[in-house]
Amino acid sequence: MNWKDFFYFSQRERRGIVLLLVFIAGIFAGKWLFKPKDTPPMETTATTENESPPAVHPVSTPEMYVPYFSHEEPYRQKKRYQSPKQPEQRTYYDRKNEEEPVPKQSQFPKTEKFTEGTVIELNAADSTDLIKIPGIGPAFARRIIAYKNRLGGYHRIEQLQEVYEMYEELYVKIVPFFRIDNQLITPININQASLDRLKMHPYINFYQAKAIIEIRKKKGRINHPDELYLLEEFTADDWLRLHPYFSYAIESSLNLPISQNSTP
């Protein structure tokens, strides 16, 4: 193989070499053409120890024009207006008033309490009567009345222990002020009450209310508590608590209720 064969290029290769050389030459030419011009360094004046810094001339600001109304001096003269000195004002406080705090006024007026030996009927009492009992405030008075409305009335004084947040010390303290009249209880007509009405009572849950509705559908009506004693949804303790709150009245053609309360 001759050494000249190493330097043999085809026509296509020669074109590529020429384009490459042109591209390289263009890069160098562009770098030379677009080279930023060197700016001459700024002359700095060095100050020696003996030389003093250049004097700075103050810039004169035009004086604010304030008219001076006087006929004795020419109008050209300008004087600045100065307001007269105001006497210093101070506020003095009475130290006695600061030391004596203002007494706080109670939000609720003071209520006179019942004396020992006073007895009221629990089912007929309202919140005004209840807050007069020592130990009962507005909150407990509302709770006692709310639970009375859910029950239909208190049957025994011991039911006060079931009031929300009733504690033993308060219960023992308020019991001597109450008596109960069972005639003031509002019973539930077991033959007419709906499922929702029955389960609203604190002593009846959903399943017990549904069992009463089912037996009422089978028998048509319930005439005596003995017809409910065998229901598995109720225990003997349940009936002992519930019997004062059930009514088995029969309505006449004039829709007048006839009371037929019965006890087991």
Contacts of 3 (CB under 8 A, 6+ apart): none
- What domains are defined for the chain? 120-184 (1.10.150.320), 188-258 (no CATH)
Q: How far apart are CA 201 and CA 219, in angstroms?
A: 23
Q: How far apart are CA 244 and CA 188, in angstroms?
A: 9
Any alpha helices (H) in the chain, and if so which ranges? 11-33, 95-99, 127-130, 138-151, 168-174, 195-199, 206-219, 236-242
Which tokens hold the place of 152? Answer: 């239909």
Burial class (CB in 10 A: 0-12, 13-18, 19+), 228: buried
**pLDDT for residue 112:** 86
**pLDDT for residue 202:** 93
Low-confidence ranges of the chain (pLDDT < 70): 1-9, 35-109, 250-264
Radius of gyration of the CA atoms of the chain, in A: 54
**pLDDT for residue 50:** 56
**pLDDT for residue 207:** 92
Q: How far apart are CA 140 and CA 165, in angstroms?
A: 9
**pLDDT for residue 154:** 96
The candidate with the shortest Cα–Cα distance to 198, out of 212, 186, 184, is 212
Strand partners, 179: 121
**Secondary structure of 199-233 in the HEC alphabet?**
HCCCCCCHHHHHHHHHHHHHHCCCCCHHHCCCCCC
- Are 121 and 184 in contact, with CB atoms under 8 Å apart? yes
Q: How far apart are CA 247 and CA 260, in angstroms?
A: 7
